[in-house]
Amino acid sequence: MLSMPALCWLCRLPLRMTQHGLCSPCLRQLPALPLLCPRCGLPAGNVRHPCGRCLQKPPPWQALICVNSYRPPFSLWVNQLKFSRVTALRVMLARLLLLSWQNVYRRGDLPRPDLLLSVPLHRRRRWQRGYNQTDLLAAPLAHWLGCEWGTGLHRQRQGALQHQLSARQRRSNLRGAFRLEMAVRGRHIALLDDVVTTGSTSEEISRLLLAQGAASVQIWCLCRTL
Ligand SMILES: [Zn+2]
Ligand SMILES: [Zn+2]
């Protein structure tokens, strides 16, 4: 069988490291992020210490890792991931997420996760789409990290669409929306999502995991709306 050289997802030039998905010049040209608070992932004065908002009202998770804000080309990639299962795209995005996490991990403030969970879709939505786009990221990440990818987190209620609700309504809409069918006591968990907007979904799931004895929860997402 003829093997095709892998191409850079952006410039379509052949890649030397086929597993990378983007060539080094394209990787360097991706839009830069402002300084983000390590806890909530929103713009802040420095990347080492939680911002004023987090000091007053810390989110239940320990850290939020994002690849970038919700803007091109990232917003386009997130949408492509929802509607196509192209392997090269998901491996490229998973790798960008791994690199973002490694940048923070190297500073030494974060535990290495031993369990990956993806934010679940409701059964009906999953059936309509055929798959959960976040699972597509979890598989390569779990492989590279050598950790478990858990499938015991379920969404039992779809509820109203989150973006039509106020912050308070979002929280009550999500209460009891998730169910955990696996042991997480003592585990360091990375919770994967494609886009984090208000963080209410991540908050609800983090509380559930911590209430069940998880040692720590970090949120990993492709895009954080800033
Ligand atoms: Zn390129
Ligand atoms: Zn913060």
Indicate the pTM of the whole model: 0.90
Domain residue extents for the chain: 1-30, 34-155+173-224
Q: What spacing in Å lies between the alpha carbon of 203 and ligand 2's midpoint? A: 14
Q: Does the pLDDT of residue 1 top 60, yes or no?
A: no
What per-residue string of b and e applies to 140-176 under the rule 16 or more CB within 10 Å gives b? bbbeebebebbeebebeeebeeeeebeeeebeebbee
pLDDT band, residue 2 (cuts 50/70/90): very low
Q: Which of 1-15, 87-101, 169-183 has the lowest mean pLDDT?
A: 1-15
Return the ligand number nearest the Cα of 36: 2
pLDDT band, residue 64 (cuts 50/70/90): very high
Q: Which two tokens stand for residue 205?
A: 């799931």
Beta carbons of 177 and 200 less than 8 angstroms apart: no
Return the ligand number nearest the Cα of 58: 2
Give the Cα separation of 14 and 5 in Å (integer). 6
CATH, domain range 34-155+173-224: 3.40.50
**Which residues are within 5 Å of ligand 1 (an ion), measured at CB?**
8, 10-11, 23, 26
Residue 130, exposed/middle/buried by CB under 10 A (0-12, 13-18, 19+)? Answer: exposed
pLDDT digits (tens, 9 = 90+) for 150-190: 999 999 876 656 667 777 777 777 888 899 999 999 999 99
pLDDT band, residue 132 (cuts 50/70/90): confident
Beta carbons of 195 and 40 less than 8 angstroms apart: no
Q: What spacing in Å lies between the alpha carbon of 40 and ligand 2's midpoint? A: 4
Q: What spacing in Å lies between the alpha carbon of 74 and ligand 2's midpoint? A: 22
